[in-house]
Amino acid sequence: MNKKIINSSISSVFIVLAFLIAINFLVSQNSVYFDLTEEKIYTTSDATKDILRNLENEVSVNFYISKDLPQDVASVKTQLSDFMNQYQDIAGSKLKVSYIEPENTPEKAQELAEIGIPQIQFNVIEKDKYEVKQGFFGVEITSEKESGIKREAIPIIQAIDSWEYDFISAVYSVSRDSEETIAFLIGHGEKEVIIEDLKKSYEVVDVEIETEEKNKGFFVSKPEEAGSEKSEQTEKEYITPLTLIIVGPEKKILNEEIAIIDEFILDGGNIIIASESIVPDLQQNLNAIPIENNINEFIKKYGIEINSDLIYDKSNSNITYQQGFFSVSKAYPFWVKSLKDNFEKHPSLSGIQSITFPWVSSLALSEKDEYLSKSLLSSTNQGKTMSDNFDLLPDSRFSFAGGSKKTIAAFAEPKDADSNKGSLFVIGDSDFISPGFSKQAPDNKTFFMNLVDSVSNSVNLASIRSKNIIDRPLKETDESKKNYWKFVSIFAGAILINVYGIFRIIKRRKRSR
Position 17 confidence tier, pLDDT thresholds 50, 70, 90: confident
Tell me which residue of 298, 203, 295, 193 sits closest to 241, measured CA to CA: 203
| pLDDT at site 195 | 86
Q: What is the pLDDT of residues 366-413, one digit of tens each?
A: 989 899 999 999 999 999 999 888 888 888 888 898 999 999 999 999
The percent of residues in the chain predicted with pLDDT above 70, rounded, is 85
Eight-class DSSP state of 144: E
Q: What is the pLDDT of residues 135-162, one digit of tens each?
A: 888 999 999 877 788 888 999 887 777 7
Query: Which residues, other chains included, contact 250 with Cβ-Cβ below 8 Å and sequence gap of 6+?
Result: 188, 189, 190, 291, 292, 293
If you average pLDDT over residues 483-499, what whole number do you get? 77
| pLDDT at site 225 | 55
- Identify the weakest region by mean pLDDT among 100-109, 122-131, 259-268: 122-131
| Rounded distance between C-alpha atoms, residue 267 and residue 20, angstroms | 65
Eight-class DSSP state of 197: G
| pLDDT at site 501 | 85
| Rounded distance between C-alpha atoms, residue 298 and residue 257, angstroms | 10
pTM surpassing 0.85? no
| Rounded distance between C-alpha atoms, residue 420 and residue 417, angstroms | 7
| Rounded distance between C-alpha atoms, residue 410 and residue 364, angstroms | 9
| DSSP characters over 86-113 | HHHHHHGGGEEEEEE-----HHHHHHHH
Q: What is the pLDDT of residues 158-177, one digit of tens each?
A: 777 778 888 988 898 888 87
- Checking if the pLDDT of 261 tops 70, the result is yes
| Rounded distance between C-alpha atoms, residue 304 and residue 302, angstroms | 6
| Rounded distance between C-alpha atoms, residue 484 and residue 491, angstroms | 11
